[in-house]
Structures are given as structure tokens and as C-alpha cells.
Structure 1
Amino acid sequence: MEQMAEVSLVRIDSRLIHGQVVTMWVKVTEAKKIIIIDDNIAKDPLMTQIYTMAAPPGVKVETITVDQAVSLWKDDKFGKTGPILVLFSGVPTAYKSYIKGFDYSKLQVGGIAGGPGRIAVEGTIALNESDAKMLNEMEKKGMEIIFQITTDTKIKTWKSIKDKYFKSI
């Protein structure tokens, strides 16, 4: 059997490819490819080009829809080029991908912008109740969920965030 690519990190970061991802997470994960799973970006050639140009030299970038991700995952675990850094811009897309069949086992939440109805739970990470319910369901299905903004920030667990900010869930 042929070797499949290794997914080294699945991360939620609303900014997707930016300074921290490029300088820290690509280096730490030794990623050779970044896959952005986002229905809107995958259909937008300009945004795809912008994210491709933001990646470090030698790191391939793919933008794919949730359905494409699920299909590619079921076919051959995203091919042979790896390690792979998978990026989502928010909890709903990570949740939808997981529920539809991209069955990753660990999720890192690294940056979600604040806004109306959002609670700052850790540094630059803000969640709303809907996000919290989706994360909670994923954890109940066996996913390990951690919160870590940069490589040198302390890791927080979903349980610690939930117990502090979303006790009623």
C-alpha cells in the first residue's frame, strides 16, 4: 500500500495564513502543504491566489470546499504530499467537515476574532455559544480540542474553557 500524507496539525485560525502560521506552525509541523478548507475561499480565485502567495517558499497551498475535503480524505487521506497543515477559518467549518467525514482526532483552536455575542476566552480566541456547542459535541465524539495561539503559549483544554465560560453546555 502506498504511503499517505500525514496531517500534522488541524487548526482554526480566522486569519488563516498569516505571520504566526507561516513563521511558527509551518516550521514546527514541518508542513509541506497547507490545505485551507473553506467553501467561500475555495470558490474565489483571487483569495486562493492571495493565500498561496502568503505561504512560505516550497509550501504548496490548496483551497478546497468541505465536500471536497471529505471526499479527498475518504479517497486517500489528502494524497502523498505531507506533512500537511489543515486550516479552518472558524468552528462551523471545522465542525461541518468533521461531521461529514473528515475524521481528524485533534483540533487546535488558535485564533477567532471577537464580535457581537462572542466571549474572549483566551488571548485572541473568542467563541459564541454556537461555537461552544459544536466544540462540545466534537469532544464528546472523542476529539481532543486544545487552545493554543502560538507555539510558545500555554495549551488550554476545551474542558478548562468550557468550565470557565460555558458551564451550561
Structure 2
Amino acid sequence: MAIIANRIDGRLIHGQVANLWTTKLDITRLMVIDDIVAESAVDKSGLKLATPSGVKLSVLPVKKAADNILNGKYDSQRLMIIAKGPDQFLELANYGVDIDTLNVGNMSQTEETRSIKRSINVTDKDIETFRKIHEKGIKIVSQMVPNDNSEDFMSLIQ
């Protein structure tokens, strides 16, 4: 399968993703799934600038991403999928995309969130969505950078 990694990161493409994860996993394509970002020329331009040289970038609405993946468009590539939150991954799974593991990276703090771990802040709705993802048999972990230990994410929200 073409999907090597799935990551939630509110910053989307930045130093950890662009330099550490992409290199460690030998990623050939980064895919940002977000209906709003996919419609923003400014956001897409910023993401293109942050994408490492030699790595392709797709910024797609979730449905289009699912269609492309299910049609085998990326089968010859090493794909890392990135979204700001869990909703996009639940939607992707509901479209039939096979997701083995979801890595929860940075989720920014807002007035509506509470901290469950350094750099991971969630709302009650996020927790409900993570539970739905977990019920689909998807393993959810937290690992900020490749050299960190992977931690069971569901134990953090019990």
C-alpha cells in the first residue's frame, strides 16, 4: 500500500514533518487533507514552500483524496497523509481508505481545548472522534518526532 504514515498536526507541514518524518520514512509525497485549505491559494502556496525538495505535495479535499487513494493513484509512491485534526481521518476511513495507524502530533491550544500531553490539546468532540476512529480498529499513537517513543494515544484520553 502506498500509505506509509498518517499524522495529525495542526501546523500541517513544518520542520518536524518536512525534515524529520519525511526523511526517516523516505516519503515521496505529502498529502494534506482539508476541505478548507484545499480551496485556499495562500495556504497551498505556504505548504508548497514548506515541502522538502524532491517530495511531491497534494492538498486535497477529503473526498478527492479518498477517491485518488482508492483508485490506486499513489500506489507507486510513499505517501504521508497529514490533517489538522481527527475529523478528516474519520471521514477518510468512512470513505473506505485503509488506515493502519494514526499518529497524533501537535494539536494547538485554544480556549475550547484542554491539554492531555505536551503539545496535544483536545476538545470533547475530538475525544469522541478519536473513539470512533479507534472503534474502526485503527491504532492511534502519539509520537512527536521519530526518535521519541510511540505512546498509546487512547490511554491518554481514558
Q: Aligning the two structures, in what range does the TM-score lie when normalised by the shorter sequence?
A: over 0.9
State the identity %: 22
Picking from 88, 91, 94, the partner of 2:86 is 91
Give the TM-score, by structure 2 length. 0.93
Larger-gyration structure (1/2)? 1
Picking from 6, 10, 31, the partner of 2:6 is 10
**Residues 12-91 of structure 1: matches in 2 within 5 Å?**
12-76=8-72, 78-91=73-86
Counting matched residue pairs gives 158
Letter in 2 for 1:121: I
Question: For residues 80 and 159 of structure 1, do their structure 2 counterparts lie closer, same or farther at Cα, with a shift above 3 Å needed?
Answer: closer
Instruction: Give the gaps of 5 or more residues in structure 2.
Output: none
In structure 2, the residue matched to 1:167 is none
**Residues 118-133 of structure 1: matches in 2 within 5 Å?**
118-133=113-128
Instruction: Give the gaps of 5 or more residues in structure 1.
Output: 164-169
In structure 2, the residue matched to 1:114 is 109
Distance 2:119 2:12 in 1: 13
* Structure 1 residue runs of 4 or more that deviate by more than 3 Å after TM superposition: none
Give the TM-score, by structure 1 length. 0.87
Whether the 8 Å contact between 2:2 and 2:74 is mirrored in structure 1 is no
Whether the 8 Å contact between 1:11 and 1:87 is mirrored in structure 2 is yes
